[in-house]
A and B are shown apart, each in its own frame.
Chain A
Amino acid sequence: MAIRVVVVKRPEREISYLRAALKGMAMTFRHLLQKKFTMQYPEQRSTDDWSLSPRWRGTHRMLTDEQGRAKCVACGLCPQICPANCIKLVPGEDEVGHRYPLIYEIDEFRCVFCGYCQEVCPEEAIHVGVHYENAEYERERFVYDLERLCAQTHPVSTLWDPSDPKGE
């Protein structure tokens, strides 16, 4: 197949820098009158045109069941798939044979927020959430334990969620 090419043409005449500067100035001032594109973060968290996507992959959250226990069954898929090796899981078993996580820690410093943990979770327990402000004063505070993951309240990402078939 012959490739259709278009040879880029140079302008025949250049305009002097003075005229170009004035023209540029006029265009820039016209932009002053246009709608503002920026927003005043942190006072303003969203604009009419933009708000954080419901699919946002941010701070993790562990969902809980009706009794307030973590849904996690310690199957071990998320530490297996995690490309950054940031999940620590020690499984335990109670007297009736139900598996649960003895230790479940996510190092938010190592995490790359790819969301694979949520993608592989067969119990819809671990989620990435629609939340991004997680600054701390101490490094140790960035290792989120099970209690802290369960205590998060922000909405979870709709990716890989049966409620959004397009993201599934």
Chain B
Amino acid sequence: MADKRTVALDLATPGMDAEGRPIRVPIGVAEGPGPEPDFSSERLLLNVGPQHPATHGVLRLVVELDGEVVTRVVPHIGYLHSGFEKLGEYRHYNQIIPLTDRTDYLAPMANNVALAMAAEQLMGIEVTERCQVLRVIACELSRIISHLVWLGTTAVDIGAFTPFLWTFQEREKVYDLQEAWTGARLTTSVARVGGMMADLPDGFEPKLREFCQAFPGVLDEVDRLLTRNGIWIARLQGIGIMTGEEAINYGLSGPMLRASGVPYDVRKDRPYLDYETYDFEVPIGEHGDVYDRYLVRMEEMRQSVRILEQALDRLPDGALNVDDPRVILPPKSTAMSDMEAMIFHFKQVMEGVPAPVGEVYTAIENGKGELGYYFVSDGTAKPVRWRIRPPSFLNIAALPKMAEGHLFADLIAINASVDIVMGEIDR
């Protein structure tokens, strides 16, 4: 290894000397950037992304390769930074909801619900029974579409194109449901503090039941295509192994953690929205490799369908929003005819809903893992500080550990198995 290099710095000037060369003025001597890099081992540095279809967004991976074996991976994030958390400090709690559509944009309804739940916990609001069931439906639909995108794109990464078309077709059906309910396919903004934006439209329940009946059939088809397929097994089994202990130490959550055999599910461990009364099972894996993550997510979608059916069965009548004019806007017809309701309406829009001084952390089980919202309030209608605990941000941190020593093609499979969404990693 050579010692530190010294480099003479000089500056070219516009003047010429007698021989027509530009005159250079010495400006000093600086130390060079340390020892010369050792190129003898023939390591190759390779940039994957930020614009690469296999990185699932604008993720940039700097990969050090020895031949075709990955010796080091450094994920570079921040290309999709939007400053949601700073923007939220200047907005009322209800105004933050459109921002949460855009964090995990593959499961927007669950994000809306999580934010509303955190704000409600801060304000001490109990939502109605019907609202809770509607929120369960929103969360489970989000989990299904999030896993469907994962399944389709992962299959494309491995080399199977057909499941991508079939899963995206099913996802379109869920988007149609979201559109009928909220008036938007992706930017749903479905929740409000103390209730929901709107009740289910006419004809929603039969359509959702139809989906619940047909959807497992499509899963079975994908299952028949992939699960026992020799190529699929050869590409995924024994790749990117995380033991249960490692998974906990890295702070993983969601299917990543459960595939390593740790039965941690926020819906069961810290139940919210009455999840303890629903009958469903938590799938866990035994090996902690990419294949187990695939199996766990497939099973989770089936369990989500079970939860959806139970939610539809128990869907109670009654009020959707809490009966508190300080929190929920009065209905339009009342606000336009009743003086008092009009006053509440103006007061709430102009001043927002003040939250008591304090801080709160609320977590839900999103498709990708434990999605947490943390608020600090100083007693005004806007949070002093707001932070998201994005599950894929913590999951991607385990990528260097998982990919080390595998082939480069396996890195793509491992990266796909993490199920990242850059919107919530970069926020």
Contacts and interface: CB of A to CB of B under 8 A. Distances in A.
Nearest to B291: A10
B179 A53 contact: yes
Interface residues of A, number: 54
Nearest to B302: A6
Interface string B224-265: 110111111100010000000000000000000000000101
A3 B268 contact: yes
Given A5-B282, A11-B227, A23-B224, A122 B335 contact: yes
A120 B336 CA distance: 11
A157 interface: yes
Contacts, number: 156
Q: Chain B interface residue count: which class?
A: 35 or more
B47 interface: no
B263 A5 contact: yes
B162 interface: yes
Interface in A142-168: 157, 159-162, 164, 166-168
Interface stretch (A59-67, A77-85, A96-104): A77-85
A80 B285 contact: no
A119 to B, nearest CB: 7
B261 to A, nearest CB: 8
B184 A16 contact: no
Interface string B269-289: 100000010000111111000
Given A122-B345, A162-B333, A15 B230 contact: yes
Interface stretch (B31-39, B195-203, B412-420): B195-203
A53 B203 CA distance: 12
Contacts of A162: 331-333, 336
A16 B284 contact: no
B95 to A, nearest CB: 4
B202 A120 contact: no
A81 B286 CA distance: 50
A81 B349 contact: yes
B85 interface: no
A57 B95 contact: no
A56 B218 CA distance: 28
Contacts of A33: none
Contacts of A90: none
Contact of A124 (B231, B269, B284, B332): B332
A16 to B, nearest CB: 5
Contacts of A84: 98
Interface in B152-211: 160, 162, 166, 169, 172, 176, 179-184, 187, 189, 197-202
Contact of A27 (B224, B284, B285): B224
Interface of A: 1, 3-11, 13-17, 20, 23-24, 27-28, 31, 37, 50, 52-53, 55-57, 75, 77, 80-81, 83-84, 112-116, 119-120, 122-124, 128, 157, 159-162, 164, 166-168
Given A3-B268, A6-B282, A50-B176, 18 more contacts: A4-B282, A5-B281, A6-B283, A6-B299, A8-B296, A10-B291, A17-B229, A20-B230, A20-B232, A24-B225, A113-B184, A114-B189, A115-B183, A120-B345, A122-B335, A122-B342, A168-B198, A168-B332
15 contacts: A5-B284, A6-B281, A10-B237, A13-B228, A24-B225, A27-B221, A37-B169, A52-B179, A55-B201, A112-B98, A114-B189, A116-B98, A123-B336, A162-B336, A168-B331
